[in-house]
């Protein structure tokens, strides 16, 4: 039985945080461990160029994301792990797809519409500060997905539209040039669709409410203490499934610990005690990965070697398929 291709990418736009791990890295590693899938995982550094336009930051963020995946257990032999910029076929396909994508489809993209609405609310020109990379972002993402004939694309709820756009573009190409692309399906993990940040909103760098994944223990403890809770008395029963602290706790604790904490919630436990226990399980869980992360970040050559190896594997699939696509559109070189 042929394995299904599962593909996911993570933008290199800052320090990896706990939300990245729970929402993307952890589920991806679980899929990679299954014999059902052929995993393609990549660092979306071209995507990050829409906002990260400092040379040193650009490089450092890429290494930080790569080191995070590797430190947390990604096996480069088991998965195809690459840097987007190391696979030029992605950008070549992106141009081809751009020429078949209606402008109106990009006008309806959520990220662009949101940026326009924000500009209008601030009495600015609707396109102020919006570069073409932001506008055409979904086409590059479609290229990421379609080039590897992806069957499944794990995403958060806010990314579903991008997979739907990729399907629309693929369907149109297939109609014009003949059956070429398979149509990808999105996969949303409803249990981790929204990882709460320090203030209760979705954990996001844009909200400045994140917990850096590999911060030092003192910083981790300090940040956990800042997580917003309500005024429910310690002795009062609490619903664990409505608690951001419990959601985080269950991602790092053992099954027995999770069940015990669930019982503690029902019988009554203070938020301070929960935060203390959360710190202890996170400290234990991340201790070895943090050490490995530091080792990798001090040895960028090892990271480059791993990413170049992954890019070679990726291009073995990308190059012949791109040639097939180019033949379909009339290229005869």
Per-residue pLDDT at 192 exceeds 60: no
The answer to whether residue 43 scores a pLDDT higher than 90 is yes
Q: Return d(Cα 44, Cα 50) in angstroms, integer.
A: 11
* d(C-alpha 298, C-alpha 295), whole Å: 5
What's the pLDDT tens digit per position in 277-291? 999 999 999 999 999
8 A C-beta contact, residue 81 and residue 306: yes
Give the CB-side neighbour count of residue 283, counting CA atoms within 13 A.
15
Distance CA 146, CA 302 (A): 29
Please state the pTM of the whole predicted model. Answer: 0.92
Our measurement of the distance from residue 275's CA atom to the centroid of its chain's CA atoms, rounded to an integer in Å, reads: 26
Residue 217 CB partners (closer than 8 Å, separation 6+): 283
Residue 205, pLDDT > 90, answer no
DSSP string, 165-234: HHHHHHHHHHHHH-S-PPPPEEE--TTSSS-B-TTSSBP-GGGT---BTT--HHHHHHHHHTS------T
Angle at 184 between CA 8 and CA 93, to 5 degrees: 75
Residue found by looking up tokens 């099954």 in the block: 255
Query: According to the model, what pLDDT value does residue 102 have?
Result: 96
pLDDT at 51 over 60: yes
Mean pLDDT of 113-130: 96
- At 248-261, the pLDDT tens digits run 999 999 999 999 99
Taking the C-alpha atoms of residue 75 and residue 247, their distance in angstroms, rounded to an integer, is 27
Q: Which two structure tokens, joined as six digits, stand for 163? A: 């997979």
């Amino acid at each position: 039985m042929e394995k299904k291709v599962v593909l996911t990418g993570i933008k290199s736009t800052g320090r990896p945080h706990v939300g990245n791990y729970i929402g993307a890295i952890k589920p991806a590693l679980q899929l990679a461990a299954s014999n059902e899938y052929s995993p393609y995982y990549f660092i979306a550094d071209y995507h990050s160029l829409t906002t990260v336009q400092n040379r040193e930051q650009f490089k450092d963020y890429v290494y930080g994301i790569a080191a995070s995946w590797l430190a947390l257990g990604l096996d480069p032999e088991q998965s195809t792990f690459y840097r987007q910029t190391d696979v030029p076929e992605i950008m070549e396909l992106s141009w081809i797809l751009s020429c078949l994508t209606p402008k109106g489809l990009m006008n309806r993209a959520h990220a662009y519409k949101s940026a326009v609405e924000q500009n209008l609310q601030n009495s600015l020109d609707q396109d102020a500060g919006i570069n073409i990379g932001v506008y055409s972002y979904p086409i590059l993402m479609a290229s990421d997905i379609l080039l590897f004939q992806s069957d499944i694309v794990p995403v958060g709820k806010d990314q579903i539209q991008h997979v739907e756009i990729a399907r629309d573009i693929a369907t149109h190409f297939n109609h014009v040039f003949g059956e070429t692309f398979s149509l990808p399906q999105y996969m949303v993990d409803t249990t981790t669709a929204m990882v709460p940040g320090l203030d209760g909103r979705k954990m996001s760098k844009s909200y400045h409410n994140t917990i850096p994944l590999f911060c030092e223990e003192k910083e981790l403890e300090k940040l956990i203490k800042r997580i917003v809770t309500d005024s429910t008395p310690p002795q009062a029963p609490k619903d664990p499934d409505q608690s951001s602290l419990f959601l985080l706790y269950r991602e790092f604790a053992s099954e027995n610990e999770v069940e015990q904490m669930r019982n503690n919630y029902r019988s009554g436990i203070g938020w301070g005690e929960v935060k203390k226990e959360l710190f202890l399980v996170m400290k234990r869980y991340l201790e070895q990965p943090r050490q490995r992360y530091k080792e990798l970040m001090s040895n960028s050559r090892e990271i480059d070697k791993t990413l170049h190896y992954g890019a070679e594997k990726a291009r073995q699939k990308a190059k012949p398929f791109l040639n097939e696509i180019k033949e379909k559109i009339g290229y005869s070189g």
